[in-house]
Amino acid sequence: MKKDRGQFIILAAIALITAILVVAATATNSGFRIRQSQEFLVSIPLMNALDDGYRALIVALSRASWTYNTSSYDYVVANNTAYLYLLDWTKNFSEAHGGRGVNAYITSDVDFQWWSNGTMWWSNSSGLLIVNAPSLGIPQFRINLVAGLILSNLNIVDNVGFNITAFDAYRDIGVSVRLISLKINGSSISSWSYQYFGSGINGYYINFPITSNSELEAYFEYNGILVRVHKK
């Protein structure tokens, strides 16, 4: 009987070890990965809000800046344009992720400085992205967003052209901008040559008499955002 007892102990031990090894091996290959995957799954709406919220703010400002220009610089109309666009974005976001119980919306306030006489000009928008995701354990998530184009350091070189420095307000780096239209002393200039010097310095060369006392009116565009530069 003692011999049988020993055999069963060995048999039981082998069975136990085998069972543990099988379960451990299978769990290692799938169970841990599952947990990580589920974390990824729930974060998609949040990642989408963070990823696209900034782009939405750029487009809202872009639309607002063009409306501002065509509405004879009516700030209320321009701000309303941004508001309506962001409302539409919110609706799209809810359509995409509302089924998961996640909603997001953006509030924004646009700001234009198009008349500064020789210092700085900008189209800017500051926004607040709010994501409600109670179903994901996040009652409310808030992040401040900024979008805009800032132009400064207008430097006119007599009878050559002018340089101007452009900054992306969100990334805080110098950028290349597109000159859309140009007037010197009230005369429209239809052609110019362009050179980007880096660090946000944009150079424009024109075949037209220009001095530091000339009146200059120019429209610049970056990411669809319009800025008017006017120097008397």
Binding residues for other proteins, per CB under 8 A?
A: 1, 4-5, 8-9, 11-12, 15-16, 19, 22-23, 26-27, 30-31, 33-34, 37-38, 40-41, 44, 48, 52, 55-56, 58-59, 62-63, 88-89, 92-93, 95-97, 223-224
Over the chain, what HEC string results?
Answer: CHHHHHHHHHHHHHHHHHHHHHHHHHHHHHHHHHHHHHHHHHHHHHHHHHHHHHHHHHHHHHHHHHHHHHCCCCHHHHHHHHHHHHHHHHHHHHHHHHHHCCEEEEEEEEEEECCCCCCEEEEEEEEEEEEEEHHHCEEEEEEEEEEEEEEEEEEEECCCEEEEEEEECCCCEECCCEEEEEEECCEEECCCEEEEEECCEEEEECCCCCCCCCCEEEEEEECCEEEEEEEC
Axis-axis angle for helices 75-97, 32-70 (nearest 10): 160
Q: Output 3 or 186, the one with its CB closest to other proteins.
A: 3
Q: Output 86 or 182, the one with its CB closest to other proteins.
A: 86
Q: How far is the CB of 53 from other proteins (least distance, A)?
A: 9
Q: Output 89 or 162, the one with its CB closest to other proteins.
A: 89
Q: How far is the CB of 13 from other proteins (least distance, A)?
A: 10
Q: How far is the CB of 110 from other proteins (least distance, A)?
A: 15
Type of residue found at 68: Y
Q: How far is the CB of 224 from other proteins (least distance, A)?
A: 6
Q: Output 98 or 209, the one with its CB closest to other proteins.
A: 98
Q: How far is the CB of 182 from other proteins (least distance, A)?
A: 23
Q: Output 95 or 172, the one with its CB closest to other proteins.
A: 95
Q: How far is the CB of 6 from other proteins (least distance, A)?
A: 11
Q: Output 57 or 182, the one with its CB closest to other proteins.
A: 57
